[in-house]
């Protein structure tokens, strides 16, 4: 169809553009984007499409009626399609929060990986697709001076609504390439566990740790559905061996190690998350307040 006939039938076709990255093989403009409201992207959000095919996902991401999009789509064979220019605000995050920011769409670049999702057996991500994801993240981080620790999962920023990318996503591989905040997960062992329905000061302290890490979690001292969703999202990303929403010793120790690693990284580089204000306890203060695993086993944390 020519542009003349487009005008004639009144259809509005999104303008094409040049890909932002040399890695882009194809540009397929989506009409679903808006103004970044003066913000600059300083984060990358990874998703999976959870649809039967990449073609179906691409169709949906370009359909004005769906009102969703992403900047990039990475196919199983590693091909990269760009849908929205990076300087525009794509609609991939939805209602979301991380580290004080409530409008993640305005400050992030969204990357969708073609993947059928958990409903379809949750297969591993193909090697070529992971290699392309690593290359694209590094390219964006370098061009835009985005801190490695600002590469996040959709489920990190919307834990009660989203579960992508799946627990199979190889965050350790990305960490080897210098992408993401990562520590080797503390092994899962038997021991005390905190779970839905519990309440008390120890739950409040636990919630504070997750909130300081970045999750949108109100400190209530009750381990309710929101806390469980956050713990599940944390495990999916940082302790994928067991994603059950129960805060066991391995989960808590892994979280503490990540806070310590991030704190060390921030002393080496100022390209970090915003400094907590004076009313927020520092991660070090809260970590100091959390008993170590030996103390947990003695039951001090169990009330």
**Residues designated as active site:** 112
- Nearest to Zn ion of 47, 71 (CB atom): 47
Minimal CB distance residue for Zn ion? 47
Alpha helix ranges (H) inside the chain = 3-9, 54-61, 127-144, 154-157, 171-176, 201-213, 225-238, 249-268, 283-289, 293-298
CB of 190 to Zn ion, least distance (A): 34
If one asks whether residue 156 binds Zn ion (CB under 5 A), the answer comes out as no
Contacts with Zn ion by CB under 5 A: the residue count is 3
CB of 107 to Zn ion, least distance (A): 16
CB of 242 to Zn ion, least distance (A): 23
CB of 155 to Zn ion, least distance (A): 8
- Tokens 């062992």 belong to 189
- Nearest to Zn ion of 165, 214 (CB atom): 165
Q: Are strands 89-90 and 33-34 parallel, antiparallel or unpaired?
A: antiparallel
Nearest Cα residue to 111 out of 89, 131, 92, 138: 92
CA distances from 283 to 158, 222, 244 (A): 22, 21, 25
- Tokens 């397929």 belong to 28
- Nearest to Zn ion of 20, 164 (CB atom): 164
Two tokens at 35?
A: 């103004």
Query: In the set 89, 154, 236, 239, which binds Zn ion (CB under 5 A)?
Result: 154
- Tokens 């969204």 belong to 110
CB of 188 to Zn ion, least distance (A): 27
Part of the chain binding Zn ion (CB under 5 A), chosen from 147-155, 167-175, 255-263, 284-292: 147-155
- Nearest to Zn ion of 117, 200 (CB atom): 117
CB of 70 to Zn ion, least distance (A): 8
- Nearest to Zn ion of 33, 154 (CB atom): 154
- Nearest to Zn ion of 47, 150 (CB atom): 47
CA–CA distance, 122 with 119 (Å, rounded to integer): 7
Its sign, for the CA torsion 216, 82, 130, 176, is: negative
CB 212 within 8 A of CB 280: yes
Query: In the set 20, 76, 86, 164, which binds Zn ion (CB under 5 A)?
Result: 164
Binding mask 35-74 for Zn ion (x = CB under 5 A): ------------x---------------------------
Two tokens at 183?
A: 């520590």
Using CB atoms within 10 A of its CB, is residue 11 exposed (0-12), middle (13-18) or buried (19+)?
Answer: exposed
Part of the chain binding Zn ion (CB under 5 A), chosen from 8-16, 151-159, 218-226, 234-242: 151-159
Binding region for Zn ion (CB under 5 A):
47, 154, 164
């Amino acid at each position: 169809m020519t542009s003349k006939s487009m005008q004639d039938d009144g259809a509005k076709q999104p303008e094409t553009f040049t890909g932002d990255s040399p890695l882009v093989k194809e540009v397929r403009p989506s009409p679903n984007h808006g103004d970044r409201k003066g913000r600059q992207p300083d984060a990358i959000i990874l998703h999976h499409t959870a649809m039967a095919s990449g073609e179906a996902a691409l169709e949906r991401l370009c359909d004005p009626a769906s009102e969703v999009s992403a900047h990039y789509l990475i196919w199983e064979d590693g091909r990269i399609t760009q849908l929205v220019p990076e300087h525009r605000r794509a609609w991939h995050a939805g209602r979301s929060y991380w580290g004080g920011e409530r409008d993640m769409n305005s400050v992030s670049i969204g990357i969708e990986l073609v993947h059928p999702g958990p409903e379809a057996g949750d297969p591993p991500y193909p090697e070529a697709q992971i290699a392309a994801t690593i290359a694209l993240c590094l390219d964006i981080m370098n061009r835009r001076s985005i801190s490695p620790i600002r590469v996040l999962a959709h489920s990190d920023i919307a834990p009660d609504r989203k579960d992508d990318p799946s627990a199979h996503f190889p965050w350790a591989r990305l960490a080897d390439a210098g992408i993401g905040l990562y520590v080797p997960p503390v092994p899962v062992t038997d021991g005390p566990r905190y779970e839905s329905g519990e309440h008390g000061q120890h739950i409040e302290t636990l919630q504070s740790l997750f909130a300081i890490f970045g999750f949108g979690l109100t400190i209530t001292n009750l381990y309710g559905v929101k806390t469980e969703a956050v713990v599940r999202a944390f495990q999916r990303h940082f302790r994928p061996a067991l994603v059950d929403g129960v805060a066991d010793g391995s989960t808590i120790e892994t979280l503490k190690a990540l806070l310590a690693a991030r704190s060390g990284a921030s002393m080496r580089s100022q390209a970090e998350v915003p400094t907590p204000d004076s009313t927020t306890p520092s991660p070090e203060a809260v970590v100091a307040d959390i008993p170590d695993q030996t103390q947990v086993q003695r039951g001090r944390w169990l009330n």
